[in-house]
Amino acid sequence: MSSTMSLSLPRGFSCHVANVGVKNTSTDFVVVAADHTCAAAAVFTQSRFSGPSVVVSRANIAQHRARGVVVISKNANVATGEQGLANAHEIVAGVASALGCPAHEVQIASTGVIGRQYPMDRIRSGLSALSELSLPFASNDAHAVATGIMTTDTVEKVASATIAGSTAVVVGVAKGVGMIEPNMATLITLMFTDADIDPASLDTIFRRVIDGTFNCVSVDTDTSTSDTAIVLASGVAGSVDIVAFEAALFHVALSLTKQVARDGEGAETLIEVVVDGARDNAQAKRVAKAIVNSPLVKTAVHGADPNWGRVAMAVGKCGDETDIIEDNVVIRFGSQECFPNQVDAAGLAQLSAYLGGDEVLIHVSLGIADGTATVWGCDLTDGYVRINADYTT
C-alpha cells in the first residue's frame, strides 16, 4: 500500500490531461472518465463562499452515480457571480457531451486564485479538443492526473492499495498545500477503484474514511472555498469484502493526507499530534487541532525548540473543555515526557535534536476517559509567508 513512480488508474478509467492556458504553461485541464456510469460519492467544503464548482457538483452527486470528473487548476472560480456559475455549467456540459453522458453525471472541481473568471475562450478550445478524442482516452497515468491538478504543490501526490482477497485496487491523487483546514473533505482529492461497491455503501464508507484522514489535516487553519473529495467505483474487478475495501481506501487517504501535510507551503517538518485520554474522540480532535494549528507550536518545531509550554498553552486555550484539568495532563515530544516530569538540560538537547528531524510527534494525554484522535500538520516557516505574499503575482 504505497505510492509509486509509475501508477495507472484502476481498470475502467482513463484520463485526458492538458494545458489550456488558464494561468501558465503547466497542465491545468484534467478529465478522468469511467468506461460506463458508475457508483460515486463526494463531500465538499462547508465554506459560506463555496465556489460554483462545489455548487454544481454537490447537486450532480445527489444520485451517487457519475461518468467522470473534470478539474480546472490555477483558477478557483470563486466569488465570480452568475457568470462563474454559468461557466461551470458550460464546462460540465462540454465534458458530458464528449463522454456521451448526461451533464449530471459529471463532477467538476476547481482550485487556484479566488475572484477571477475562467478564461473561457481557452477552456472552450480545450473542450473542443476533448470532443475529438475517442473513449477510453489513450492515457491512464495517475501521476499525470496528480500533476494536472496542482497549484502551489511542490510534488504530485499519489497513493495506491490492493484490496485484500481480490485483484481490485484503490488509486488516489490529491492536491493542496495551503488554505488547508478541511471541514468536510479537503482541498481536492480524487479516488478511484475497480471494486464493485453499491452507491449507498460507497457514500457511507467514504465519509467515514474522510473524517479520519483528510478532516484531520491542517496546514494553516484556513478552510478553502473549493474543497472537494470524490470517489468513483467502476466495478470492473467485481465484488470485494467491504471491510477490506474500507481498509484499502483508508490507507490511500491516510497516505495522501500525510503527503499534503508534509508538502505544506514552505514546510520542512511533518507534525503528528496524538491526543488520548479525552472525554470522547471529538474532544480529542478539537484539542489536537488546537495544538497543530498553533503558530507558536509550529514555529517552535521549525526552530527545533522543545518549548513544551507552547503545547500547554494550546491545550489550555480550549476554554470550553472544562473537564481538562492541568494536574491530569501529560505532554510528550516523541516518547519523552516533558510535563509534568520535566527533562534536564541534557534531555532538552536531545529533544532539540529530535525536533530537528523531518517528522515530529507531539503526544498529549488528558487523563479524562478513553477518547483519542490523531491529526497532521506542518511547521511554519518564512517560506510560507513568502509564497502567500506573492501568490497572485
The Cα-based distances of 162 to 40, 202, 250, 350, 377 in angstroms read 19, 17, 12, 40, 27
Give the span between the Cα atoms of 317 and 321, in whole angstroms.
9
Whether 186 is catalytic is yes
Cβ-Cβ contacts under 8 Å for 62 (sequence gap 6 or more): none
The residues pairing with 17 across neighbouring beta strands, listed in sequence order, are 30
Rounded CA-CA distance 79/52 in Å is: 8
> Residue 333 in contact with residue 355, Cβ under 8 Å?
yes
Task: Please count the other Cβ atoms lying within 10 Å of the Cβ belonging to residue 382.
Answer: 9
Element (H, E) at 275: strand 270-278
Task: Check if the beta carbon of residue 195 is closer than 8 Å to that of residue 235.
Answer: yes
> Which contiguous run of DSSP H or E holds residue 175?
strand 169-175
Ramachandran region of residue 204, left (φ > 0), alpha (ψ -120 to 50) or beta? alpha
Nearest Cα residue to 363 out of 339, 327, 345: 339
Q: Which helix (H) or strand (E) holds 233?
A: strand 228-239
* Residue at grid coordinates 491545550: 315
62 DSSP 8-state letter? G
Catalytic residue among 186, 189, 372, 381: 186
Q: Fill in the DSSP letter of residue 2.
A: B
Q: Alpha helix (H) ranges present in the chain?
A: 52-60, 81-99, 120-131, 142-148, 199-212, 242-262, 281-292, 295-302, 308-316, 345-355, 382-389
The Cα–Cα gap between 188 and 322 comes to: 36
Residues with catalytic function? 186
